[in-house]
Amino acid sequence: MNSLIIHPNDESTKFLKNIYEYATNYTLVTGGVTKNKLIELINCHERIIIMGHGSPAGLFSIGQFKTAKYVNEFYIIDDSIVNNLSKANELVTIWCYADHFIKRYNLKALYTGMFISEMGEARICGYNNVSQEEIDESNQSFASIIGKYIHEDNNSIYKKLKTEYGRLARKNQIVNYNHQRLYISI
């Protein structure tokens, strides 16, 4: 299955590279294209994987995309692109509050809710006694597990992620938090 991976270039989400590090047959977009070009790319790929920082309104552009013609320059993935995303055979969205976006537009996807990947996010979510090592373990495990199964369908990835990442949830409170916010709609 040919995949489009949208991962805005951002040092704080570089751990997500483990998802596609060993993947084959994919196009990676980290920035530098217009929204129209991105839409063209979405339309010619079967699987769309979108990851980085975001909000219920979509994926932040992190200043990496040519969005000058667009009113909302803060997002590269937003409501203007939903129709195109709805046509993908497989859709994966990994950003904070992607669940709100997916549910609002009734998209079929493997997706996350609020996802703690940084110390500041842990504190905002009430985890004041967490270590950087716990966050790093969560990030690396999450990305590695998805990467290991990236060539499988979303349902298989979801089941394996819930099982394998779930094993860590018993000993890592950040994994436990994130694990409870993994979803699939088919």
For the chain, the structural domain boundaries read 3-185
Sole residue written with tokens 């803060």: 74
Q: Where on the phi/psi map is residue 139: left (φ > 0), alpha (ψ -120 to 50), or beta? A: alpha
Share of the chain above pLDDT 90, in %: 92
132: three-class secondary structure by DSSP: helix
Under 8 Å between Cβ of 86 and 107: yes
Q: Which amino acid is at 169?
A: A
- Asked if pLDDT for residue 159 goes beyond 60, the answer is yes
Share of the chain above pLDDT 70, in %: 97
Question: Model confidence over 19-60: pLDDT tens digits?
Answer: 999 899 999 999 999 999 999 999 999 999 999 999 999 999
- Asked if pLDDT for residue 114 goes beyond 90, the answer is yes
Residue 60, beta-bridge partner list = 75
Please state whether beta strands 58-60 and 26-29 pair in parallel, antiparallel, or not at all (unpaired). unpaired
118-144 mean pLDDT = 97
Question: Model confidence over 62-82: pLDDT tens digits?
Answer: 989 876 454 457 899 999 999
Sole residue written with tokens 């790319």: 41
Top CATH class, 3-185: alpha beta
Query: What is the predicted pLDDT for the residue at 67?
Result: 61
76: three-class secondary structure by DSSP: strand
Query: What is the predicted pLDDT for the residue at 1?
Result: 87
18: three-class secondary structure by DSSP: helix
Query: What is the predicted pLDDT for the residue at 66?
Result: 75
Rounded to two decimals, the pTM is: 0.95
Query: What is the predicted pLDDT for the residue at 71?
Result: 47
Sheet holding 75-77, edge to edge: 54-55, 58-60, 75-77
